């Protein structure tokens, strides 16, 4: 399916003999890659190859509007702003679960089930256990395999139609894979991952907007926006966990909860994953813990993806269900999403039917919730931090306290309005928690010290002493001095980040040292560094200096999206930078952008457009871009890679390559190297592949290339190809 995808860029420019067939093919390819990326976290192709497929489909549908289908990936953009949400009745009620708060209640739940079933009760129950998400409950409706409606839980009987907003969530398939039942209703939870929540709140604060209290509020608030564009801009996820009405026709329906969730994963719906039934509980514990301990080398943050954890498990009897409760509570703070307990269900659907319901809750399920992770401490002082956009953020420095398995000493107070609302003062005795198990926050003040006074954020920058200003329609004060050391340090740390200019070996402490020593006063100064300047700093050796210079040199070859993102324009995140790069194509075109053209760019509203125009009119930014180019930074135009591949020129002459294994350069760099020399990079090996470039620890692609007789290159042979025509 994937062997011709990279070459599809050139197809978009030629007449298509069978538009309907090509559109169907493109939809299938894009949906396949959406599933790999958003559900399995195992992408097979690069972003620009995916974008090329999407662009071709969009152009094809624009030329042939009759080909547009409701399940087309191009229809994720959502519709018009709504005046209100329509009320919709669920075919079967979305019932609530009875809550308990300890493992003894799990025993009581099992005993009640035995009494109700009497002779039908098994000797040992199979309980299906999984984390209880803290998000927004949702029901998705698929008819003949196509997504048609999304309904909130509401009062359990009637919910709100939020189809337009839910359609924008990339992890939700618009068409199910393989299975096409007449009717498939699935219930699940819409959540925001902890890391996404952290990034969202950072952007909220930098934009002068109020931060969200926790991931649940952020997710629920996003889905209940009347403007689908707002929901689309938020990093939302959905996890499926329960059936509604299922009509399979001739196919047999699943007979258990574990079978249902396995089926969901098979047909493309995201779940937390079901553990192998043959895996012992001890092996389950160790596997999950080892996966959670994996960290990203640069950020130090958890590397585990939700689907990799396979957290749902069939537990043998209430004893193992209690062990599951204790284990999930133990690792709760390490999970990538927010939970408030576990759900325990009788696994067998036949037994569920026999147990039935009591009032508005099923007898076959219970929610075993965790106690809240909060603690009391005292605020010793309130510091003011200055971010890269000049935002002054108050931070409470507290006596160390353990919350959720982590010792915390600092908690953001966000802004003056938040301080006033909670009446936070120096010396206050406070209740603290980790919002979304991530960000420490002050919940409330428990006791005020004698003779305490209200805290006011100063009207001058604590770093440079400049007068701080509060822009119109914002809740934060900002330092407007562009030469403020704190603003400069923040801008530099953003500039060198992996998704920006990607300068390895230039960490926060080293940036601080360069600024403090006066060696770097703007981003372009990084490219003026010499070994002598680096060695003038303490604890810098010749080897580390040389490595840094090589990394800076390598970063000079960049693309337009990375450079736009690296410039640190307020409101312009990585996704928006990519949209701007695609729209304008070249740096010169972007620098000349006006408000009218910016409003034509997807995901850009009036506020963002005005801010970008304001920055672009500033001579400092254009001077900085000019300096970067003079110092050797090469900014690849957004369409350059596509053109070189289509042309088939260069040393590689249009040959098709597949990359596998560990090579001396990063995968993206190798791909760029091949395309810049006229080659084409494919994601999978097929008969159309000319060469497999294989590094160490090459896997299944090497075996398939051998079977198909594809030529296999090592790194040295590949280097020789680049130097010969």
Give the residue numbers marked as catalytic. 132
CA 243 – CA 259 distance, rounded (Å): 11
Give the Cβ contact number of residue 118 at 10 Å.
Answer: 8
Residue 453 burial (C-beta neighbours within 10 Å; 0-12, 13-18, 19+): exposed
- Residue 707 token pair: 């079977």
- Residue 552 token pair: 């800076």
Cross-strand partners of 682? 658
Sheet holding 439-447, edge to edge: 406-412, 392-403, 374-386, 429-435, 439-447
Closest among 556, 524, 530 to 632, alpha carbons compared? 556
Q: Phi, psi (5° rounding) for residue 493? A: -65, -35
Evaluate whether 371 touches 362 at the Cβ level (below 8 Å): no
- Residue 691 token pair: 């060469």
Tell me which H or E stretch contains 681.
strand 680-682
Q: Phi, psi (5° rounding) for residue 244? A: -105, -125
Return the beta strands (E) in 370-405 as ranges. 374-386, 392-403
Please list, in sequence order, all residues whose beta carbon lies within 8 angstroms of the beta carbon of residue 485, skipping any fewer than 6 positions away: 463, 464, 515, 516
Evaluate whether 305 touches 336 at the Cβ level (below 8 Å): yes
Evaluate whether 496 touches 503 at the Cβ level (below 8 Å): yes
Tell me which H or E stretch contains 711.
strand 711-713
CA 516 – CA 525 distance, rounded (Å): 14
CA 413 – CA 383 distance, rounded (Å): 10
DSSP states of 172-205 as a string? Answer: S-SB-SS---SEEEEEEEEE--HHHHHHHHHHHH
353-359: long-range contacts, CB 8 A cutoff, minimum separation 24: 354/116, 354/117, 354/120, 355/113, 355/116, 355/117, 357/95
CA 559 – CA 632 distance, rounded (Å): 13
CA 364 – CA 355 distance, rounded (Å): 6
Instruction: Give the angle 578-582-588 at the CA atoms, nearest 5°.
Output: 100
Give the Cβ contact number of residue 293 at 10 Å.
Answer: 11
Tell me which H or E stretch contains 25.
helix 19-34
Closest among 200, 201, 438 to 301, alpha carbons compared? 438
- The phi-psi region of residue 667 (left if phi > 0; otherwise alpha if psi is between -120 and 50; otherwise beta) is alpha
- The phi-psi region of residue 77 (left if phi > 0; otherwise alpha if psi is between -120 and 50; otherwise beta) is alpha
Return the residue matching tokens 């920058």. 461
Cross-strand partners of 382? 396
Closest among 133, 296, 136 to 224, alpha carbons compared? 136
Instruction: Give the angle 82-474-387 at the CA atoms, nearest 5°.
Output: 120
Distances (CA, A) of 292 to 80, 310, 311, 514: 41, 11, 11, 35
- 522 three-class SS: coil
CA 196 – CA 176 distance, rounded (Å): 26
Bridge-based pairing of strands 656-660 and 691-694 is parallel
- Residue 532 token pair: 């002598």
């Amino acid at each position: 399916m994937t062997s011709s995808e990279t070459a599809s860029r050139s197809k978009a420019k030629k007449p298509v003999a069978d538009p309907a067939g090509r559109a169907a093919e493109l939809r299938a390819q894009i949906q396949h890659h959406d599933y790999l990326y958003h559900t399995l976290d195992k992408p097979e192709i690069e972003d620009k190859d995916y974008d090329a497929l999407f662009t071709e489909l969009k152009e094809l549908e624009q030329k042939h509007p009759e080909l547009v289908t409701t399940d087309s990936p191009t229809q994720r953009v959502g519709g018009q702003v709504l005046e209100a949400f329509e009320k919709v009745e669920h075919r079967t009620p979305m019932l609530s679960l009875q809550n308990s708060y300890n493992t003894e209640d799990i025993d009581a739940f099992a005993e009640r089930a035995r009494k109700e079933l009497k002779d039908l009760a098994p000797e040992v129950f199979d309980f299906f256990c999984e984390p209880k998400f803290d998000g927004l409950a949702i029901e998705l409706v698929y008819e003949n395999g196509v997504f048609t409606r999304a309904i909130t839980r509401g009062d359990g009987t009637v919910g709100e139609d939020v189809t337009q907003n839910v359609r924008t969530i990339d992890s939700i398939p618009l068409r199910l894979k393989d299975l096409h039942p007449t009717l498939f209703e699935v219930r699940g939870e819409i959540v925001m991952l902890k890391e996404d929540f952290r990034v969202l709140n950072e952007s909220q604060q930098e934009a002068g907007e109020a931060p969200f209290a926790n991931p649940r509020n952020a997710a629920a608030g996003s889905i209940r926006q009347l403007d689908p564009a707002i929901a689309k801009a938020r990093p939302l996820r959905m996890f499926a966990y329960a059936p509604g009405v299922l009509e399979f026709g001739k196919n047999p329906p699943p007979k258990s909860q574990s079978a249902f969730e396995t089926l969901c994963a098979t047909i493309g719906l995201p779940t937390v994953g079901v553990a192998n039934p043959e895996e012992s509980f001890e092996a389950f514990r160790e596997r999950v813990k080892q996966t959670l301990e994996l960290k990203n080398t640069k950020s130090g943050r958890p590397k585990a993806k939700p689907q990799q954890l396979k957290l749902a498990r069939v537990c043998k009897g209430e004893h193992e269900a209690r062990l599951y409760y204790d284990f999930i509570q133990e690792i709760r703070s390490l999970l990538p999403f927010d939970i408030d307990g576990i759900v325990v269900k009788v696994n067998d659907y036949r037994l569920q039917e026999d147990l039935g319901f009591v009032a508005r809750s099923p007898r076959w399920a219970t929610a075993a919730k965790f106690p809240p992770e909060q603690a009391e401490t005292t605020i010793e002082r309130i510091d003011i931090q200055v971010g890269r956009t000049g935002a002054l953020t108050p931070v409470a420095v507290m006596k160390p306290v353990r919350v959720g398995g982590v010792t915390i000493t600092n908690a953001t107070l966000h802004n003056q309005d938040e301080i006033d609302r909670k009446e936070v003062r120096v010396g206050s005795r406070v209740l603290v928690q980790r919002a979304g198990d991530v960000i420490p926050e002050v919940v409330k003040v428990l006791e005020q010290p004698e003779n305490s006074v209200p805290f006011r954020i100063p009207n001058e920058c604590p770093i440079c002493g400049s007068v701080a200003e509060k822009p119109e329609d914002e809740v934060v004060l900002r330092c407007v001095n562009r030469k403020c050391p704190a603003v400069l340090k923040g801008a530099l740390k953003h500039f060198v980040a992996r998704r920006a200019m990607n300068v390895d070996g230039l960490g926060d402490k080293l940036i601080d040292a360069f600024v403090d020593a006066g060696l770097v006063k703007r981003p372009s100064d990084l490219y003026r560094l010499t070994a002598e300047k680096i060695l003038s700093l303490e604890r810098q050796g010749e080897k580390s200096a040389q490595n840094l210079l090589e990394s800076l040199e390598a970063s000079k070859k960049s693309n337009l999206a990375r450079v736009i993102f690296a410039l640190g324009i307020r409101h312009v995140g990585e996704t928006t930078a990519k949209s701007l790069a695609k729209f304008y194509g070249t740096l010169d075109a972007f620098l000349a952008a006006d408000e009218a053209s910016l409003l034509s760019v997807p995901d850009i509203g009036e506020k963002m457009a005005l801010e970008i125009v304001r920055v672009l009119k500033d001579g400092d930014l254009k001077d900085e871009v000019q300096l970067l180019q003079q110092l050797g930074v090469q900014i690849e135009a957004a369409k350059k890679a596509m053109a070189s591949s289509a042309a088939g020129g260069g040393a590689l002459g249009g040959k098709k390559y597949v990359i596998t294994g560990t090579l001396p350069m990063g995968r993206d760099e190798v791909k760029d190297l091949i395309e810049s020399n006229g080659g084409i990079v494919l994601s999978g090996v097929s008969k159309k592949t000319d060469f497999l470039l294989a590094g160490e620890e090459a896997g299944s692609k090497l075996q398939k290339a051998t079977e198909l007789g594809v030529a296999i290159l090592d790194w040295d042979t590949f280097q020789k190809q680049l130097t010969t025509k």
